[in-house]
Amino acid sequence: MMALVESELFDVALVASDKPDAPGIAWARDRGLATFALSPKGLGKAAYEGALDRALRDAGVEVIALAGYMRLLSDRFVADWRGRIVNIHPSLLPKYKGLDTHARAIAANDGVHGCSVHVVTEVLDGGAVLGQAEVPILAGDTPDTLAARVLVEEHRLYPKVLAEFVNR
């Protein structure tokens, strides 16, 4: 999220989180950005997503860029925002959808790993890939060392691809 904001390649209408104490929320507020922070605990998925949807629409959001958002969005929410939600995923999709991507790439003895920016659909990590960046897997890599190198590429790739997407 910070890399997206700092890129200044597009206007950020709202920074939202399901964790009110997330450091990124405080960081965004300190920069004068509008924020929405609501814990879904005790609300139920439909009520939480309804509140999120209202906040996004009230802020004039046109495209949702997920960054570190680890909750699965409901099919209804995705349908309501069809073609206007993008995500960064730490693998070269269609490989390694879901979690533990770095460990899985190492275990498979892949030579390269990386990240993908994709359109969010009802299928987990299944939408059209908009851009990718590769990172070599080095001898002795651990999931953590590989993740650190992939993160550098995520911060480079996501703002560029998102800017192309919102300005298309």
**Residue entry with tokens 């999709």:** 93
CA distance 26 to 35: 9
Q: Say how many residues make up the chain.
A: 168
For 95, the 3-state DSSP assignment is: coil
Q: What residues are annotated to the active site?
A: 89
Residue whose C-alpha is closest to residue 143's, from 72, 90, 67, 70: 90
For 33, the 3-state DSSP assignment is: coil
Asked if omega into 94 is within 30° of 0 (cis), the reply is yes
CA distance 35 to 59: 9
Q: Which two tokens stand for residue 142?
A: 């651990």
Residue whose C-alpha is closest to residue 146's, from 109, 123, 114: 114
